[in-house]
Structure 1
Amino acid sequence: MPMSAEEIKDIIRSALPDAQIEIQDLAGDGDHYACQVISESFRGLTMVKQHKLVYDAFGGRMGTELHALSVKTKVP
């Protein structure tokens, strides 16, 4: 079953409680999303490490429950 935008926000927020999160459903199918995540937790980290924090929040769900997630990260 596809994941909703709200579920994605909840998963990211569980790992990054201070995050400001915007989600966009790219294909309208609930399976391809883009997100922008703004968090103080990213300060001092490389872009790769920032993205890893976001992807790690999904555990084994990436590629199964959620097919594709494009991530943009920022520090406030």
Structure 2
Amino acid sequence: MAAPTPLHGNELIDCAKANAKDGIEAAATLCGYSGDIVTFERELHSAAQHMGIKLEGFQDLVKTTEVPQPIGIDVIPETETVL
């Protein structure tokens, strides 16, 4: 559900991170900026700077929200007594 008014500060950062995988247009709309990408990015940078977060661009949010994939393989026994 889109925010009824543009979000700012911590709420904007949280909303943008939560919707980063859907793209910048969707994130801007859901954060209350109705597709105004320029204002959304400006406010996002301002909020990040105010909070002391280094944010080069919107793509940085996509990188931080990706879930790392486990490395290795699963070993599952064929039966309860045989590995």
TM-score (norm 1): 0.32
Where is the strand percentage greater, Structure 1 or Structure 2? 1
Where is the helix percentage greater, Structure 1 or Structure 2? 2
Structure with more relative contact order (C-alpha pairs < 8 Å, separation 6 or more): 1
TM-score (norm 2): 0.30
